[in-house]
Amino acid sequence: MAAEGNAIDALSQFELTPVLGVVGASVGFTQSNAHMLLAVGLITALMMWGTAGRAVIPGRLQALAESAYEFVHDMAVGQIGEEGRRFFPFLFSLFMFILFGNLLGLLPYAFTFTSHIAVTFTLAAIVFVLITAVGIAIHGWRWFGYFKPEGLSPALAVLVVPIEIISYLSRPISLSVRLFANMVAGHVMLKVFASFVVMLGTAGFLGFLGAAAPLAINVALVGFEFLVAFLQAYVFAILTSIYLHDAVHLH
């Protein structure tokens, strides 16, 4: 597995394998898709059960559901403004899906679907299409003035407009690469240090003592990865709301 033949195999954890037997294999239903469905199911269960009681003094589950709701709601209204309420359902789904994907990936034997660029880029592409569509729907042709700062001489516009367009087009790439790279880097680090533990632990008494160091690092890393899991979901959602702010308000 991790340290076979003294080689550290840190990347096999990202391989896709079909699940659900013959049916899964024929339609390409992998453990990644299964974890996505699990994340959606968990989010739905949290919100439905959490808000079912409607207690004035919330229990633990209701407090969790309410604080998640309020967190995203404050972000949407704070970043976009009052119009942000219209984008709250989208922002909430996006944030919770990424957050649960990141957190599920930290459980043993689980798969991190946000560690695949195909998944994160799809999410970023949805955001990109949305911000462009919202911008054009609200502002019409004036939206294209977004690429040309006011009071710019035509000679400079030839230079600045392509740069602005490239900058705009780079948004989905930076958005998706940031999430994907953070998740891959974290899981590779965990795997590498876990391999060190196994390799040292099987190398006699001194090695057994030495294995404590990478084990301690891994304990700290797991805690750090929980921070990263939350932070990257937050960064993805807050950048989306900043882009939505630009699309709604034009600058």
Partner 1 sequence: MADRDDFDRRLQEARARQGLDAAPKERGGLPGGAWGIGFRVGVELVSALVVGLAIGWALDRWLGTGPWLLLLFVVLGAAAGVLNVYRVFMPRRGPR
Using CB under 8 A as the criterion, which residues of the chain lie in contact with partner 1 when the complex forms? 78-79, 81, 162-164, 166-167, 169-170, 173-174, 177-178, 181-182, 231, 234-235, 238-239, 242, 246, 249-251
What is the CB neighbour count within 10 angstroms for residue 138?
Answer: 14
Cβ nearer to partner 1, comparing 17 with 167: 167
Cα-based angle 190, 119, 177 (whole degrees, multiple of 5): 65
- In three-state secondary structure terms, 30 is strand
Output the six-digit token pair for 78: 């704070």
Least distance in Å: CB of 119 to partner 1?
Answer: 17
Cβ nearer to partner 1, comparing 42 with 173: 173
Least distance in Å: CB of 79 to partner 1?
Answer: 7
Cβ nearer to partner 1, comparing 35 with 116: 116
What are the backbone dihedrals phi and psi of residue 28, each rounded to the nearest 5 degrees, phi first?
A: 70, 35
What are the backbone dihedrals phi and psi of residue 202, each rounded to the nearest 5 degrees, phi first?
A: -95, 10
Q: How many residues does the chain have?
A: 251
Cβ nearer to partner 1, comparing 106 with 181: 181
Please list, residue by residue across 38-53, b when 16 or more beta carbons sit within 10 angstroms of its beta carbon and e when fewer do: bbeeebeebbeebeee
Least distance in Å: CB of 162 to partner 1?
Answer: 5
The dihedral formed by the CA atoms of 46, 49, 53 and 55, expressed in degrees to the nearest 10? -10
Cβ nearer to partner 1, comparing 36 with 123: 123
